[in-house]
Amino acid sequence: MSTPNKPLIQIKDVVIGIPHKRRPTLIIVNNANFDINYGEMVGIVGESGSGKTMICRTMIGTLERRGGKILSGDVVFEGQSLATASESDWKKLRGKSIGYVPQSALAGPNPVLTIEAQLAEALRNTGDTKDIKARSKELLDLVKIRRVDTVMKQYPYQLSGGMRQRVMIACALATSPKLLIADEPTTGLDVTVQSQIMDLLKEIRSSMGTAIVLISHDLALIDEVCDRVVVMHAGATVEVGSVKDLEKPRHPYTIALNSSRIDIAEPGSELVTIKGSAPSVGEWNPGCRFADRCSIVQSDCRIGDHPALIGGSGTHQTACIHTELLERI
Amino acid sequence: MAEFLLEAKNVSVTFGSGATKVEAVKNVSLTLRAGEPIGIVGESGSGKSTLARVLAGLQVPTEGEIFFNGEPVYKGAKSYTGEARRQVQMVFQDPYGSLNPQLTGLNAVAEAVRIHDKTNKELSETRALELLRRMGIAELDAIKKPRQLSGGQRQRVSVARALSASPTVLLADEPTSAIDQSAQAQLLNLFRGLLDDGLAIVLVSHDLGVIRYLTNRVYVMKDGVFVESGITEEIFNDPREEYTKILLASIPGTLGTAARQKLQQG
């Protein structure tokens, strides 16, 4: 970690919407706010539909392909504003300074390309076209694939899910990115494979100094591998803090999420569930979007805008305006 | 009354022949008592889903037999017959793929009720609503189509559908893999309620946290065979097989920490 505690990428009050010809623009993320420092491993947790993947897309510039748009706020990567970046600006960043490992390992690699061709494509992106074969092999070594020569000639369907995900990580690492975004990289993979992939990410972080964003809904997993955690609910960041901070969560949503964990529950005991379901995208009431599901909701929680994060960047931040009542939960 | 409600004796399943022959399940035996929760745990390709399909009456075993209440299931038949058929029901992994996209939750469950109870539309809908309410789906959500429901809600509709037959055995193949943590907690609470009502549950999963939480006994499967089986708590505290130890050490968080330490100490 060359320059710790210095932000590599900053998500600043980002509002993401999907414009529509006839209907008003659908706001899908509102109040997203957090930094990721050089060499840091940050987890983003939240339910499906909380905006985790959308935030990712702002960091790799694929938001507009999906019809999304940053309406206000900014994403700043090493001092460069990404909200207004053009496609040609993105071409210099995506797959170069910023790597991406998609969610679905099984569908990730191109099915009609051999692993060799796949890696070669990623490597040519660096602009350096020398020794591509040798460098491909190095990459496969890096992600701990054995029988490298055989695997190079194989097609994705001949590999297991874990191997495919390793290949995807190898592709993302081809350009030695400063930031690697992994969107639920182990969903659908076995626990043993999951722990191998996590060990691999940790190793990459410490050997290459890559900052890693890990998106997951598995709190136990994030606890184990990340330095800091960003909790999202209904398109807003509701809590940001170190893994240690999050042991004593300061937002009712995080508290509820924590107590629904089965890995710490007594077998057969009643599991705590979060009341109701997350409000549908864009169908947000005024005030805090967790209010309808919150057990300590007060009348002033339902007025105005969704509360912003309280506390300075780098500290334990929460968007709850009634933290004094948290002990009642 | 047989000792076991459901019993698998020396079951093998082989797909293909010659060079492409795959032995998915090799000579496994399993028992399930009435009202008991058991787990089958293993990685992808270990044969656990194939075994679940055999138990559910969806896959004829190449060798061996399944006994339901002491009666052979596949002897001269391709699946469960008569009363036994409704008593063993299955919930599938993918709540997006297992529901008819054209039917509302209510219609999907009512259809199943009509088939099993042979009642009319009105009675079947009342019963369906009752089942859905028990699964935590209010009337307002029951009249929605699958695409309008969340993954957790869809999975609960699937469970309601399985329950419409008033089964004594519920086979659940990775019911929590595709849903969020809070939805998972909700589903597991419901499963616990079903156990209290006397239903036996066979939970197939690679999620050891879920297995630990819900089951009394567990079978650890690898490459088509059971490498270890026994009381869930004992297996979690004192695994004998190397494979089980590795599996436990892979669980993220506190649950795997102890297992990891033990593994490192050798």
CA angle A318-A324-A328, nearest 5°?
105
Same domain, A93 and A131: no
CATH code assigned at A51 = 3.40.50.300
> For residue B169, what pLDDT band results from cuts at 50, 70 and 90?
very high
Is residue A220 within 8 angstroms of chain B, CB to CB?
yes
Same domain, A260 and A310: yes
Residue of B nearest to A243 (CA): B253
10 Å CB burial of residue A293 (0-12, 13-18, 19+) is buried
Nearest partner of A103 among A216, A195, A210, A193, judged by Cα: A216
Same domain, A71 and A181: yes
- The answer to the question of residue A272 being in a domain is yes
- The answer to the question of residue A286 being in a domain is yes
Query: From CA B243, how far away is CA B220, in angstroms rounded?
Result: 9
Q: Enumerate domains of chain B plus CATH numbers.
A: 6-95+172-265 (3.40.50.300)
Residue A4: per-residue pLDDT: 56
Q: Is the pLDDT of residue B150 over 70?
A: yes
Same domain, A64 and A93: yes
Residue A86: per-residue pLDDT: 87
Q: Is the pLDDT of residue A106 over 70?
A: no
Q: Which residue has the higher pLDDT, A93 or A229?
A: A229
- Per-residue pLDDT averaged across B57-84, rounded? 92
Inter-chain Cβ pairs, chain A and chain B, closer than 8 A: 104
CA angle B254-B256-B261, nearest 5°?
100
Q: Specify the range with the lowest mean pLDDT, choosing from A274-283, B67-76, B163-172, B229-238.
A: A274-283
Q: Which residue has the higher pLDDT, A197 or B6?
A: B6
Residue A232: per-residue pLDDT: 93
For residue A148, the enclosing domain spans: 109-174
Q: pLDDT for A8-26, tens place per residue?
A: 999 999 999 988 888 888 8
- The answer to the question of residue A104 being in a domain is no
Residue A48: per-residue pLDDT: 78
Query: From CA B145, how far away is CA B152, in angstroms rounded?
Result: 14
Same domain, A136 and A279: no
Q: Which residue has the higher pLDDT, B218 or B209?
A: B218
> For residue A215, what pLDDT band results from cuts at 50, 70 and 90?
very high
Q: Is the CB of residue A67 less than 8 Å from the CB of residue A19?
A: yes
Same domain, A280 and A182: yes
> For residue A2, what pLDDT band results from cuts at 50, 70 and 90?
very low
Same domain, A262 and A116: no
Q: Is the pLDDT of residue B89 over 80?
A: yes
> For residue A34, what pLDDT band results from cuts at 50, 70 and 90?
very high
Q: Is the pLDDT of residue A129 over 60?
A: yes
Same domain, A262 and A318: yes
Residues in chain A: 329
DSSP A120: H
Q: Is the pLDDT of residue A1 over 50?
A: no
Strand partners, A80: A77
Residue B1: per-residue pLDDT: 67
Same domain, A305 and A214: yes
Same domain, A256 and A270: yes
- The answer to the question of residue A223 being in a domain is yes
- Tell me the DSSP string of B138-170: -HHHHTS-GGGS-HHHHHHHHHHHHHTT--SEE
Is residue A48 within 8 angstroms of chain B, CB to CB?
yes
Does the structure's ipTM exceed the value 0.85? no
> For residue A105, what pLDDT band results from cuts at 50, 70 and 90?
low
Choose the closest CB to A270 out of B43, B182, B189.
B189
Choose the closest CB to B181 out of A217, A225, A267.
A217
Which of A224, A226, A263 to probe by mutation at the B interface, max B CB count within 10 Å? A263
Same domain, A143 and A75: no
Same domain, A160 and A25: no
Chain B positions touching A224 (Cβ under 8 A) are 252-253
Please state, rounded to an integer, the average pLDDT across all residues of chain A: 87
Q: Is the CB of residue B57 less than 8 Å from the CB of residue B88?
A: yes
Residue B243: per-residue pLDDT: 93
Is residue B138 within 8 angstroms of chain A, CB to CB?
no
Residue B236: per-residue pLDDT: 92
- The answer to the question of residue A88 being in a domain is yes
Residues with Cβ within 8 Å of residue A24, at least 6 apart in sequence: none
Count of domains observed in chain A: 2
Q: Is the CB of residue B65 less than 8 Å from the CB of residue B73?
A: yes
Whether pTM exceeds 0.80: yes
Question: Residue A271 corresponds to which amino acid?
Answer: L
Which of A103, A246, A254, A262 to probe by mutation at the B interface, max B CB count within 10 Å? A262
